[in-house]
Every structure is written in structure tokens, then in C-alpha cells.
Amino acid sequence: MVTGIGSKVALVAVLLSGAVCFAQSSSEVIYKAKCQMCHGVKGMADTPAAKAMKVKPITDPDVKGFTDAKMIEAVRNGTGKMQPYKDKLTNAQITGVVAYFRTFLK
Ligand code: HEC
């Protein structure tokens, strides 16, 4: 009986960690598909499109000062030459992709 419960707990733990991995990797997929061409593989704005649009690297003091909320706002409603994404991505996807973008700051 005890082992039965133990294996159920283990199964739940596996399922939960799988869900977390999925959330992270789907944000990465969205970033690569929709953001990377202008913001660069590591957020350094080192692509030809980034140079053409004068996108700032994530390490630029102006961008570093952005809070999570400000970045989410910029992606939702657009900023400068960047189009709004609120009709293309869900709030959860935007939050996830901004979190992924911010990992480049670390
Ligand atoms: C067509 C090019 C392009 C694409 C695609 C693009 N961006 Fe941008 N992004 C820009 C430009 C241009 C700015 C404004 C840069 C500036 O004025 O500093 C910007 C600004 C931002 C900012 C505000 C901080 C900053 O760097 O100024 C965030 C956050 C951001 N983009 C995230 C994203 C995310 C996330 C995606 C994908 C869903 C994305 N961008 C897709 C061009 C793009």
C-alpha cells in the first residue's frame, strides 16, 4: 500500500517537472520564431534586421532598466518600430517569452 502511494507521488512529480520544461521550451520556440530576427540569439540585437531597425541590445542601459511589466507592455502594445503582439500571442505566451528574453541579462 505504501509503495502504491509513493509511486503516485513520483508520477505527479514527473508530470509537474515535464510541464515546467514544456513552458520554458515553448517560450524559447516563440522567441526563436518571432523575436530572434530582430533581437538576436542572445538578445544582443546583432542581426541585420536589428541593425536596420536600430534595436538596442538587452545589455543597453536603456533596456536593462525595463521592468518585467514594462517589457510585457512593450510586447503587448508595440514600441517604436516593433509591432504589437497582443493579437498574435496570448498573455501567458508574452509573459513567458519576456521571461526567456530576460534570461539573457543573467
Ligand atoms: C521586426 C523587428 C522586431 C521583432 C520581430 C521584435 N522586436 Fe522587439 N523591438 C524591436 C524594436 C525596433 C524595438 C524598439 C527598440 C528601441 O527603441 O530601443 C523593440 C523593443 C522591444 C522591447 C522593449 C525593450 C527594448 O529593447 O527597447 C522588448 C521587451 C521587445 N522588443 C521584445 C520583443 C519580443 C519578446 C519579441 C517577439 C515576440 C519581439 N520583441 C519581436 C524590433 C522587433
Domain holding 92, by residue range, is: 2-105
Take atom 34 of ligand 1 and give the residue whose Cα is closest.
Answer: 35
Q: pLDDT of the chain along its 106 residues, tens only?
A: 556 666 677 666 665 665 555 566 899 999 999 999 999 999 999 999 999 999 999 999 999 999 999 999 999 999 999 999 999 999 999 999 999 999 999 8
Q: Which domain CATH number covers 29? A: 1.10.760.10
| Diameter over CA atoms, the chain | 65
SS3 82: strand
Question: In whole angstroms, what separates CA 11 from the centre of its chain?
Answer: 28
| Sequence-ordered list of residues with C-beta below 8 angstroms from that of 30, at least 6 positions apart, any chain | 89, 93, 96, 97, 100
How many whole angstroms from 54 Cα to the centroid of ligand 1? 10
Task: Note the pTM of the prediction, 2 decimals.
Answer: 0.83
| The total number of structural domains that make up the chain | 1
In angstroms, rounded to a whole number, what is the distance separating the alpha carbons of residues 91 and 4? 39
